[in-house]
Amino acid sequence: MGATKTGLFTKQQNDAANLAKALAHPARIAILQHLVKINACICGDLVEELGLAQATISQHLKELKAVGLIQGTVEGTSICYCINPETWKQYRDLFGKFFDCSVANGNCC
């Protein structure tokens, strides 16, 4: 045991959880914020920006790319990463809907 029982939940729930998982690390939050800030695309600058090893950054980038939050294109000898605007907006809407579920009706407890 120890493995998440994915089969018990809807695709939508698993998707939301997967996106949240991609955001569930401060390094990945920091990477996204940096990419948003410097609209121009960055590559290995992230290694200096954050204090993590190159292999570690590469792994975080891989996870962000896996959920489609960022995209990378080869640019000479380096690789240019930037936000993927489409999935970004898509996820913004997903979270927007999730949180806007009219919870205003005060506590019941």
Partner DNA sequence: CCCATATATTGCAATATTACGATGAATGGA
Partner DNA sequence: TCCATTCATCGTAATATTGCAATATATGGG
Which partner, DNA, its own copies, none, binds residue 54 by CB below 5 to 8 Å per kind? DNA
Distances (CA, A) of 47 to 23, 24, 58, 89: 18, 19, 9, 27
Closer of 4 and 33 to DNA (Cβ): 4
Residue choice 48, 55, 77, 104 for contact with its own copies (CB under 8 A): 104
* Other beta carbons within 10 Å of 17: 14
Judged by CB under 7 A, the chain residues 49 through 68 that form the site for DNA are 52-56, 58-63
27 touching its own copies, by CB under 8 A: yes
Q: What type of residue is 24?
A: A
